[in-house]
Amino acid sequence: MRVAYELILEELAKHLETLLIESNAHWLRLHFARIYQESFKNNKLLKLQTWCNDIVTKYPTKVFESEDFISLQENALISLIERDDLQMEEVKIWNYVIKWGIAQNPGLSSDPEEWSNENILTLKTTLKNCLPLIRYFQISGDDLYEYFQPYQQILEKSLWKDLVKKHTAPNKPISSVILPPRMILKTVLPHRSTEPFSNVINEAHTAEIASWIDRNSDMYSISNIPYEFKLLLRGSRDGFTHESFWNLCDKQENLVIVIKVKDTDEILGGYNPIGWDKYNSCKITSCKDCFTFSLKNGTIQNSILSRVKDTKKAIYTNFKYGPSFNGSLDMYNPNVNNRCFCYNDTRYEKLIRKESTFDGYFSYFSVEEYEIFQIHKKT
């Protein structure tokens, strides 16, 4: 699209932009951080910028907590913080804005007490287009000083005084322009969808998995499952790449992986409460609460739970692999032509496939479909 605009092929560029949004939204989400950055490198990509910001306003941590935040272009940051519907506390937004401003000036201390007059002037210049977007927000006067006192040096004196006045006497007139509080979006409960939440497991399976997570001897009923299963990634064997796994699941905790084995009724999977960290690649990690399983399904009459025994060698991480439960279940190991397999090993309590499927140390299988969920306690 950017090349098309450079060649003044605007009709082609606009067509590609629409095609990406309408037909390839899943791909855009997989590469969200990069797409967000790239879309603001050309001010004509307005549809893509709006699509990105519509997501970020609801899930602002996708940008603010990303590793690329400090390299964000100014126009991208401004387009975000000027939104009335950005769903983040104002003080947090401005802490991030200050962090961004400091990062644009290498050598500038992150401690305001160490700033010289020259440092203050430099930071004010860097943030000159952000500071006018400051908003009024509801916190106590004491908290206002606590949050903003370190940074009042970069605010105009009149603005700082009016900001304080707005909190101490909100009905008194002020001379500065302070934007109103952001809108808090009301959560509208959706109608119960007839579409299943999963293509691999059902609610009875989630009740069983939840019971294993909490180490309950009695299984939860479907009506009192204490966790929500939030889908992070779904696909088939042909659709899996280790890049997609790391883009969406890196450093995510409390993950449940479920795999429908091709040409059988088997549903295999595992639970990893600590997650996989891409920057700990080629390392074996300790975990005492992870487990793997085979779920009751079709001709599979009984579920199998296999808790980790060797807790110091529970999880393996490699940025070239998919998820790996070290000694029990591996998904897409490049050392064996990206195949999936179970181990015949003593690091986990039980085999989760029939012993007859093993060829020595491994039991290989093909994937029909897989899903990765993150579980959250219901509120």
**Residue 5 predicted with pLDDT over 90:** no
**Residue 48 predicted with pLDDT over 50:** yes
- The 10s digit of each residue's pLDDT in 276-303 is 998 888 899 999 999 999 999 888 889 9
Q: State what percent of residues in the chain have pLDDT above 70.
A: 87
Which pLDDT band, with edges at 50, 70 and 90, does 38 fall under?
Answer: confident
- The torsion angles phi and psi of 371, rounded to 5 degrees, stand at -145, 145
- The 10s digit of each residue's pLDDT in 145-170 is 666 665 667 777 777 777 777 666 76
Which pLDDT band, with edges at 50, 70 and 90, does 241 fall under?
Answer: confident
* Winning range, highest mean pLDDT, from 148-152, 241-245, 308-312: 308-312
Q: Which two tokens stand for residue 362?
A: 């491994």
Question: Which of 244, 226, 315 minimizes the C-alpha distance to 273?
Answer: 315
- The 10s digit of each residue's pLDDT in 160-217 is 777 777 666 767 777 777 777 777 665 444 444 445 788 899 888 999 999 999 999 8
Domain range list for the chain: 2-168, 203-377
**Residue 139 predicted with pLDDT over 60:** no
pTM, 2 dp:
0.52
pLDDT at 138: 56
Q: Which spans in the chain are helix H?
A: 2-6, 10-23, 25-30, 32-39, 46-58, 61-64, 74-81, 90-103, 117-126, 141-148, 157-168, 203-213, 242-249
